[in-house]
A and B are shown apart, each in its own frame.
Chain A
Amino acid sequence: MKPLTRTFGNALYVLPALALLGLFVYYPLIANIVYGFFSFSAGAGEMKPVGADNFLRLLDDPIIKTALTNNLIYAIVSIICQVGGALVVAAWLTRLLGPRMGGILRSVYFLPAVISMTVIALLFTFVYNSRGGLLNELLALIGLEHLQTAWLADVDTALGSVIAVSQWQSIGYVCMLYVVALQQIPEEYYEAASLDGAGRIRQFFSITVPQAKEMIFVAMILTVSGAFTVFNEPYILTKGGPGNTTQVLATYMYNQGFFQNQMGYASAIASLIFLITLVLSLVQMLSFRSGKD
């Protein structure tokens, strides 16, 4: 048994972190859920209790369905490109390219990750611009004029265009995480595999993927929770438009809270976002743990 003072002393060391965490993470979290039961505006102080109205409204608000679908598409594309695609790129960088070329390209791919998302989004409004935007000009140069469109204003292309920007930025970052993991795989595994006659692709699936499992898990959590909390890209590029076609949960929450002045409903949406990311993280944590040997 530990002496009481020791336990007390330990608790004392934890206290500052606990206080900060409580004040800046747990208190807002709980307050937010409580706010969901009221109706109030950002400016006025008066809060009117409305029971579960805000949460019930979530169920039959068609824009919530649009936003959820968009977040889901965001997550699926992000998993394919960032969790899957970035692993392929990382394997290519570490296994196929020499250290010099690999090093240079690694920096090139990582570069977007150090630029602010706001800057990137503004940059891409020029790329996507319908009048003389880079993308449309490029299409004209290679004789694909018929593909030109107002990328961010066309209902069919807006969401895809927004998602593409996120992939462009994030692949380099996830790729860097993978490179670190792949560099720790012993070279002998690959030598043994090639002696056994395994080709590059077989080596990738039988050695690289299983060895990088831990990092794939990390990348999954990062991208999926990122996809459900995404805000900057759609907000700056389209503001959720045209109509509500590129609305995601976070932009809709912002719109409700600060534009439509429905802080209570915005809190309910925030609770929904929290619930979704919580459940997803739990599911992923549990399923990956069960796979451990």
Chain B
Amino acid sequence: MRTTARIATAAIAVGALIVPLAACGSSEPEAADGQVTIDFFHRWPNEPKNAYFADLVSRFEEENPDIKVNVESVLNDAYKDKVKVVAGSANAPDVMFSWSGSFLEELAKGDALMDLGPWLAENPELTESFYESQLEPFAVDGVQYGLPIGMHSKLFFYNVDVFDELGLEVPTTWDEFIDVLDELQGEGLTPIEYGAQDQWTIAHYVGTLNQRMLDPEVFLADQDPAKGEFTDPGYVEALERFQELSAYMNDDMAAVTHEIARNAWIAGEAPIMYMQSSEVGYFGDAQFEYATFNMPSVDGGKGDPGQLTGAPEGFVISKTTEHPEEAQRFVEFMLNEANGVKYSEETGELSAVQGAVDKADVPEISKELAQGIVDASAMTTWLDNAYDPQIVQAYLTETQLMLGGQQTPEGVMKAVQDAAARVRDAS
């Protein structure tokens, strides 16, 4: 009896050891009859995009019974961390979401991405289906690594009802902007709703103000990690402008996420908020009419006030993929015109496929915003995608302190310059 019990226990123990080991070995079971499985990794576990991509994948699988798509998704910041670890490894997902700018560049320099050039050369109609300005940000040193799905721009959204009631005009210069804000504050309103707990929102304000303030040459030169110095006095001035604006924002901004702030704006708690064009999809509940204006020109600013801040996002294919042809078919399917229209309709995003937004059944304002991006004199990429992550980190954390009154604009730039010096030394 005792021996039997012992043997049984030992067997269970050994079994317990083997099961996880076995699970490690066969992580990718090849399906029967030659079906190929590709892994697709995106950053939208939240609605409406989660459902949109789930539906898209099932439609793709129906049309392509020989391919099975495995979807995995995690939200923004976690996505950045996770992709940096898996990209380039043997376990890299075949198709991945990517921002344009430094995020893409880092992946490209890590030798993790497939050069899409040869494939696009064979399919010129695919290349031509996109707005050219939206393709460019996905090229690094002339090599095309990604294709865009959505276009983005950052604008002040304002409550037209409140503006009309108070007889306010849309501001085009800084002084007019401050006058409008004073007027709104005089009425007992919080003029601008802002959620600064998410540090990327700081990047959007500061990035635009920097572009407005600085000489375009300085602005571009500092984006080069080997040269960036950040010593131009315009940087400090841009932060001072931001400080000036913050006096017109909700006091608890540091404790508020962008999402909470947006909901407060939709509920009419403040008339103005700085948001992305793609956020229109969330405005369903707004009980007022809304419109947009670009960041006003800044006195003494050397940058082009007609520029829009924003950058496209899209998809890349892993260099280590075992099924390049299937991955390409999937990307092509996701970015075809019909799906561009569907994407715009169901998620409120602006598809980067030519004419897709126009054909879509979306609010008039979305079409105008898309046209605005296509017509923009130039686009300024997001600050957090323009510089090395070390510089971004110093810039955003110190500016967050500045908003809380714990840091000066000069102090912020000192920290940025130190980070830039480290980046220069390393490159």
Contact = CB atoms under 8 A, between A and B. Distances in A.
Interface of A: 39, 41-45, 129-131, 150-155, 240-245, 255, 258-262
A155 B106 contact: no
Given A243-B398, A260-B393, A41 B254 contact: no
B81 interface: yes
A259 B407 contact: no
Given A44-B111, A153-B252, A260-B389, A243 B106 contact: no
B390 A260 contact: yes
By CB atoms of chain B within 10 A, which of A129, A151, A260, A262 has the most? A260
B400 interface: yes
Contacts of A258: 80-81, 84-85
Contact of A242 (B85, B110, B112, B254): B254
Contacts of B83: 43
B398 to A, nearest CB: 7
A260 B390 CA distance: 5
A151 B255 CA distance: 8
Interface string B109-123: 111100000000000
B255 A43 contact: no
A255 B260 contact: no
B197 interface: yes
Contact of B87 (A43, A243, A255): A43
A152 B256 CA distance: 10
B199 interface: yes
Contacts of B397: 240-241, 243-244
Given A259-B81, A259-B389, A241 B106 contact: no
Given A131-B252, A153-B252, A258-B85, A241 B393 contact: no
22 contacts: A41-B106, A43-B106, A44-B88, A44-B109, A44-B110, A45-B111, A131-B256, A150-B255, A153-B197, A153-B252, A153-B256, A155-B401, A241-B197, A243-B400, A243-B401, A243-B407, A258-B80, A258-B84, A258-B85, A259-B77, A259-B81, A260-B389
A255 B390 CA distance: 10
A261 B255 contact: no
A117 B81 CA distance: 21
Interface in B377-427: 389-390, 393, 397-398, 400-401, 404, 406-407, 426
Contact of A131 (B260, B398, B426): B260
Interface residues of B, number: 32
B56 interface: no
Interface of B: 77, 80-81, 83-85, 87-88, 106-107, 109-112, 197, 199, 252, 254-256, 260, 389-390, 393, 397-398, 400-401, 404, 406-407, 426
Given A243-B400, A259-B389, A39 B426 contact: yes
Nearest to A263: B84
A149 to B, nearest CB: 9
B190 to A, nearest CB: 13
A43 B81 CA distance: 10
Contacts of A259: 77, 80-81, 389, 393
Given A130-B255, A260-B390, A261-B389, A42 B85 contact: yes
Among A45, A154, A243, A261, max chain B CB count under 10 A is at A243
A240 B400 CA distance: 12
Given A43-B106, A43-B110, A241-B197, A255 B255 contact: no
Contacts of B80: 258-259
A34 to B, nearest CB: 19
Contacts of B401: 155, 242-245
A186 to B, nearest CB: 38
Contact of B255 (A41, A152, A243, A244): A152
Contacts of B197: 153, 241
B56 to A, nearest CB: 27
A259 B390 CA distance: 8
A27 to B, nearest CB: 18
A43 B107 contact: yes
B10 to A, nearest CB: 14
A257 to B, nearest CB: 9
A129 B255 contact: yes
Contacts of A243: 397-398, 400-401, 404, 406-407
A180 to B, nearest CB: 28
A258 B86 CA distance: 12
B408 to A, nearest CB: 13
Contact of B85 (A43, A155, A244): A43
Contacts of A240: 397
A258 B398 CA distance: 19
B252 A43 contact: no
Nearest to A45: B88
A244 B401 CA distance: 8
Given A240-B397, A244-B397, A258-B84, 17 more contacts: A39-B426, A43-B83, A43-B107, A43-B112, A130-B256, A131-B256, A151-B255, A153-B255, A155-B406, A241-B199, A242-B401, A242-B404, A243-B401, A243-B406, A243-B407, A259-B81, A259-B389
Contacts of B390: 260-262
Contacts of B255: 129-131, 150-154
Nearest to B82: A258
Contacts of B109: 44
A41 B110 CA distance: 9
Contacts of A150: 252, 254-255
Contacts of B398: 243
A81 to B, nearest CB: 25
Contacts of B77: 259
Contacts of B106: 41, 43, 261
Contacts of A255: 393
